[in-house]
Amino acid sequence: MATKHRQKFAVAFVLFVSCVIALSFGAYSVGYRINISPSVPTGIWKAEGAVEKNGYAVVAANEHHGYRLAVERGYLHNLMPMLKRIVATAGDVVSYDVEERAVTVNGAYILMTEIYSQDTEGKPLPSANFPVRLNKGEVWLSSEHIRGYDSRYFGAVSQNILQGAKPVWLWN
């Protein structure tokens, strides 16, 4: 009798896991993303809408060298969204104040933007060239975590590989 119950449980468990996987793929296909990175608030996000200054954006997987390096180094798992805040757009001047150790946009300081020469494992980090005036179709991405991996390291990003993102449910 116990074997029959175990078989029923195993079938129910497999069906449950299959449903969760199917729902996850369905949710992903319509733009839902789970962010567990401290770069922006953790939770469920929906990739939708326009890319706009002070909004959030998802970087298309494997469409950007910064994303690929993040996956290679383990900062992100493959297909995990690279979700960042857009702090500068076309015409803005992005600089780095060495004394204050912070990125500025048109002279205004962006919090938690010190540039590090190495990641937390001691691997050298690239650095963007400063100052830069963003061209039409370019944006500057910023993390909301001091050790975040963003445009400080990979420079301006083309809007063509971004999609606006809105929080659905945040848990921090």
Write the DSSP assignment of 100-121 as a string of letters. Answer: TTEEEETTEE-SS-PPPSB-TT
Percentage of the residues of the chain whose pLDDT score is greater than 90: 59
- Give me the pLDDT at residue 74, please: 87
- Is residue 157 exposed (0-12), middle (13-18) or buried (19+ Cβ within 10 Å)? buried
- Give me the pLDDT at residue 67, please: 82
Confidence of residue 131 (pLDDT cuts 50, 70, 90): very high
Residue 35, pLDDT above cutoff 60: yes
Confidence of residue 110 (pLDDT cuts 50, 70, 90): very high
- Give me the pLDDT at residue 25, please: 56
- Give me the pLDDT at residue 68, please: 85
Weakest mean pLDDT among 24-33, 57-66, 152-161: 24-33
Of residues 45 and 80, more confidently modeled? 45
- Give me the pLDDT at residue 127, please: 93
Residue 106, pLDDT above cutoff 90: yes
Of residues 106 and 2, more confidently modeled? 106
Helices (H), the chain: 2-29, 65-73, 151-154
- Give me the pLDDT at residue 22, please: 57
- Give me the pLDDT at residue 156, please: 96
Q: What is the reported pTM?
A: 0.84
- Give me the pLDDT at residue 24, please: 53
